C-alpha cells in the first residue's frame, strides 16, 4: 500500500497486506485510510503518521465509510455489517526518540508528568501542555521513577541518577537539573 503526495508525486510505502490489496477508502477527514486485501482482512492506516493503526479480521476486503466518518458498512460474501468508527478520545505522539532497547516508563501520581527511558535516552514530558520533552542522554537502559517533590530517579546495574525537574514556561520544555545522590 502506497501513499502518494498529490503535489510532488512522491510515493511512500505504508505497508502491505498478506495478499494483494484490492480496495482503498479514506475517512471523510482524510486522517485514516482503510484498505482491503484478497486475504480478506481490512487494515486501517493512520494517514498522518503514515503507519498501520489496526487490522480488522471480518472475512472482508471491502467497506464504505459514511459522510460523517462515524460509521462504516463492511461487505462480506453473504452479509453487510454496520459498524461504528470510534476515534481515540486522547492521543498524543511524542517526537523524542529514546533509542533502541528495552523501554521503561512511569506516570506521576497526579497524571501530569510522564518519564520514560530507552536504550540511549531518558525523557520527561509535561502532559498539561504540548511542549517538547526534557531529554537526557544516558547510555544503557535505566529504570525510572518519580517522587512527589518533582524528582526523577533512574537506575541501572549498579548506577543511580537523580534530577529535579522544573516545568517549562509558555510551551518550553521542562528542565531536568542533576542532583547529587548519596551512595
Question: Which pTM does this prediction carry?
Answer: 0.56
* Distance (Å, whole) CA 21 – CA 17: 6
Cβ contact 11:2 at 8 Å: yes
Instruction: Output the nine-digit C-alpha cell for 104.
Output: 521503561
Closest CA to 72 of 27, 22, 17: 27
pLDDT in tens, 127-153: 888 788 999 987 667 889 999 899 999
- Each residue's pLDDT tens digit, 42-86: 999 988 888 888 999 999 999 999 999 999 999 999 999 999 998
Cross-strand bridge partners of residue 113: 126
Q: For 66, left (φ over 0), alpha (ψ -120 to 50), or beta?
A: beta
pLDDT band at 156; cut points 50, 70, 90? confident
Cα separations (Å) of 79 from 22, 42, 62, 64? 19, 16, 12, 14
Amino acid at each position: 500500500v502506497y501513499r502518494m503526495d498529490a503535489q510532488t508525486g512522491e510515493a511512500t510505502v505504508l505497508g502491505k497486506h498478506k495478499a494483494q490489496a484490492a480496495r482503498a477508502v479514506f475517512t471523510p477527514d482524510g486522517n485514516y485510510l482503510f484498505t482491503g486485501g484478497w486475504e480478506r482482512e481490512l487494515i486501517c492506516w493512520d494517514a498522518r503518521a503514515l503507519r498501520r493503526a489496526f487490522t480488522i479480521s471480518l472475512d472482508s476486503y471491502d467497506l464504505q465509510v459514511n459522510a460523517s466518518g462515524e460509521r462504516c458498512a463492511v461487505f462480506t460474501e453473504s452479509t453487510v455489517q454496520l459498524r461504528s468508527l470510534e476515534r481515540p478520545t486522547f492521543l498524543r505522539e511524542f517526537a523524542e526518540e529514546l533509542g533502541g532497547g528495552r523501554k521503561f516508563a512511569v506516570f506521576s501520581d497526579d497524571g501530569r508528568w510522564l518519564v520514560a527511558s530507552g536504550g540511549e535516552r531518558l525523557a520527561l514530558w509535561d502532559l498539561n501542555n504540548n511542549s517538547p520533552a526534557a531529554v537526557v542522554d544516558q547510555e544503557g537502559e535505566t529504570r525510572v521513577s518519580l517522587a512527589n517533590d518533582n524528582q526523577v530517579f533512574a537506575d541501572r546495574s549498579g548506577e543511580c541518577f537523580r534530577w529535579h525537574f522544573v516545568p517549562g514556561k509558555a510551551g518550553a520544555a521542562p528542565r531536568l537539573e542533576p542532583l547529587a545522590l548519596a551512595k
